[in-house]
Structure 1
Amino acid sequence: MIQRDQLVAACDHQLRATQFKDFTINGLQVEGGDQVKRVMTGVTACQALLDEAVAWQADMILVHHGYFWKNEPVAITGMKCRRIKTLMAHDISLLAYHLPLDAHAEMGNNAELARHLGWKVEGCLDGELGEGLLWSGRLPQPLSINALAKQISQGLRREPLVIEAPQVGDIERIAWCTGGAQDMITAAYDGGAQVFVSGEVSERTTHLAREMGIHYIAAGHHATERYGIQAMGEWLSDEYGVEHRFVDIDNPV
């Protein structure tokens, strides 16, 4: 068991939470009990995850997608009210990290996606490794776009959406950014990537990929961001002795 504020401070320090200009609050979002024995992790702090945490008697929920996003209504009503009531009624803290978890060099979503799929990390195209969000590297061996898509499908247990650029042959150089990063495709192309992998796709992404000459794979926002939060939970378990459980709430997006 560990004091809540000690655990929060450790997470803030590890992820350099204050160094990112983000669309939300990174760190403690809802304060629960003073002591933490059980930490549940998940991608998004949806009601289904909260209900799992209540059933498991968790003291803290740690997620990638929390609450209080920029430009959302500030009133605590409806769905937001029900969620926060659940946390407060059971004295559960909510801890959330968005961009800091994407960027972290060892436990971040981009780092963990590369580790999970066997990609060799070479650096970032938008900053230093561990600070930037657009990662680049190489495949262990050249693959066709269809072979890469199959590897991703098997690894993430989700069929990706593939947009082929006919003028590009087998792939060796790859760039990626988990989640809703489809508009980084231009920077990926400028950085020399032959394929760009992210979570979501927009209508415009199809034309950009085909006309610039870079394959694009939308592997799923949720599917690409499962692994960073799990790594963070395991780190807390190893370092501070808390019980950790990851719950994967199905999301096809």
Structure 2
Amino acid sequence: MANRQDIISKITEWLQPENFQDYCPNGLQVEGKAEIETIVSGVTASRALIEAAIDANADMILVHHGYFWKGEDQRIQGMKRERLKQLLEHDINLVAYHLPLDDHPEYGNNRQLADVLEIKNPRPLDGLVWQGDLEEAMTPETFNLHLSRKLHREPLQVGEGKSEIRTVAWCTGAAQGFIDKALEAGLDAYISGEISEPTTHTARECGIHYYAAGHHATERYGVQALGAALEKKFGVRHIFIDCDNPV
């Protein structure tokens, strides 16, 4: 068992959220009990995750996508009310880290995705975008199969680039607009979670292979790594719960 503030302080030390201009508050979003024995992690603080965390007797929920996003309706009603009601009734802390978790060089979504996809020499390219190399060159079709097997989701593949892929850039989540950074760096392929209508034309006309591998599918791994690190540091129990999302 560990103290909530000790856990939050350690995550703050690791992720340094104060260095980010984010779209939501990072850290403790909903306060629950002070002593933590079980942490449940997940991608998004959906009702399904909350209910699963209640069943697991969680004291804290750790997510990448929390609440209180800029521009959203501030009223506590409907879906938001039901989520908060469950958290408060069961005295569960909700802790969320968005951009700081994408960016972290060890626990971050981008760094963890590189490990899952077996990308070699992963390193930051520009801002939140990372780059790396394939151990062996793959055809665009073979690379698509590789992504499917590793992420358990078939990506949307577009673009007309080189016959073999050796260098890759990526940014998890809704980062399709960063495809230009991969083009500027002269890389063979770019991966993000989501695709927009203009992304298809950019990939086709500028000669790069693009893979929309799923927002949820590319961002499963940061919270797992962070939760595992907290388990090791504080001796708490950590459980990752994957509430599937096809987007």
CA contact (8 A) 2:133 2:167 kept: yes
The equivalent residue for 2:30 is 30
Instruction: Structure 1: give runs of 5+ residues left out of the alignment.
Output: 127-131
Distance 1:125 1:93 in 2: 35
Cα distance in structure 2, aligned partners of 1:85 and 1:122:
41
Contact 1:145/1:164 (8 A) holds in 2? no
What is the 5 A alignment of 1:44-55? 44-55=44-55
Could you tell me which amino acid in structure 1 is paired with residue 148 of structure 2? Answer: S
SS in 2 for 1:33: coil
Match of 1:129 in 2: none
Matched, 1:146 2:146: no
Q: CA–CA distance in 2 between the matches of 1:206 and 1:41? A: 33
Equivalent positions of 1:1-253 (< 5 A) are 1-126=1-126, 132-165=127-160, 167-253=161-247
Deviation at 1:193, TM superposition (A): 1.2
1-side partners of 2:38 and 2:122: how far apart? 36
Superposed CA RMSD in Å reads 0.8
Q: Distance in 2 between matches of 1:122 and 1:28?
A: 30
Q: TM-score, normalised by structure 2?
A: 0.98
In structure 2, what residue type is equivalent to 1:119?
A: I
The 8 Å contact of residues 121 and 135 in structure 1, kept in 2 or not, is answered as no
Provide the rounded CA distance (Å) in 2 between the counterparts of 1:121 and 1:9.
Answer: 31
Shift in Å, 1:221: 0.4
Secondary structure of the residue aligned to 1:95 is strand
**Alpha-carbon offset, residue 122 of structure 1:** 4.3
Given residue 193 of structure 2, which amino acid in structure 1 is its aligned partner?
G
What letter matches 1:179 in structure 2? G
SS in 1 for 2:64: strand
Q: Secondary structure at the match of 1:28?
A: strand
**CA distance, structure 2, for counterparts of residue 214 and residue 142 of structure 1:** 15
Unaligned runs of 5+ in 2: none
Amino acid at match of 1:142: A
What is the CA deviation profile of residues 50-104 of structure 1, one whole-angstrom value per residue up to 9, with x for unaligned ones?
0011111100000000000010011111111110111000000000000000011
CA distance in 1, matches of 2:167, 2:103: 20
Q: TM-score, normalised by structure 1?
A: 0.96
Q: Where has structure 1 moved over 2 Å in runs of 4 or more?
A: none
In the aligned structure 2, how far is the partner of 1:194 from the partner of 1:65? 30
Residue 137 of structure 2 aligns to which amino acid in structure 1? P
| Larger CA deviation: 7-16 vs 34-43 | 7-16
